Structure 1
């Protein structure tokens, strides 16, 4: 299967398990890989928010942004602890990714930004989820 965004991330889709026979180990490995992409995008958004100014101070110092960043850090740690429960972990990772995309603002919806990996990550979860 070829997909433009996946190809840009160097991802190739493979069919590992027969339909209808979910593989918990595969799901856990995919969740761990997705969590790595989430963490990289999160680090990029924190860097971006630290460098962007509003009213003379970094956006990262805004109360609402700081709260969102703190919630994301807690969510990432929770997802890490949930990797042995891949269905739940994938749902949480998708939720975290959506929050990170929003923190990027309008740039989060452009395919040449770090958030591109998060869209591909969601596709991977959807492909894996469809086979369970």
Structure 2
């Protein structure tokens, strides 16, 4: 991973490759773990949007308050309630944590989407509608990936949020490729919906 938050926390184009590959080969929880590898617990609290933050389930510390969310749990993700008690104010500034973690998460989501497209290709149904749907998503992912690479050094919040919003829409397109099973909570495509929730805790997309 690139340098830490204290040094401005840039992300290199090679990080996009690594994080996309993690989402593609190992899934959401593993990709999230890489995205947060150099983010300590105090950073999590400082950067949380609305007082909640998503982390890999294996990273939950003793005494942490975990929000019950069965779909997230099934993907190995925990949603932590990190809101401070009334009257307390966090002194640590969020810096560029939300933007950089958001960029990293977007790369993971691109890999995860590609992983689900491969799964779609394995379906017994291989008609023209399915293949066209897959091609449409693939063609939409490439410019998003180029956009991430172009803003690795200084990721603007609005631009990162826009990428996630577009990934949200692509997640629904992928779910339709598995109609009607893609909307079941036990279908693998749920990872895309949990990924949307994860991004929302960091960027409020």
With the shorter chain as reference, the TM-score category is: 0.7 to 0.9
Tell me, what secondary structure is at the counterpart of 1:105? coil
Q: Say whether 1:9 aligns with 2:84.
A: no
Rg larger in 1 or in 2? Answer: 2
Structure 2, gaps ≥5 residues long = 1-65, 83-91, 152-158
Q: TM-score, normalised by structure 2?
A: 0.52
Instruction: Kindly report structure 1 stretches of 4+ aligned residues shifted beyond 3 Å.
Output: 17-22
Aligned residues: 120
TM-score by length of 1: 0.77
Q: Structure 2 matches for 1:12-91, cutoff 5 A? A: 12-13=78-79, 23-48=98-123, 51-52=124-125, 58-59=126-127, 62=128, 64-83=129-148, 84=151, 85-91=159-165
Higher helix proportion = 1
Q: Which runs of 5+ in 1 are unaligned?
A: 53-57
2:181–2:187 CA contact under 8 A, matched in 1: yes
Q: Which structure would you say has the larger RCO, counting Cα contacts within 8 Å and 6 or more residues apart?
A: 1
Deviation at 1:125, TM superposition (A): 2.0
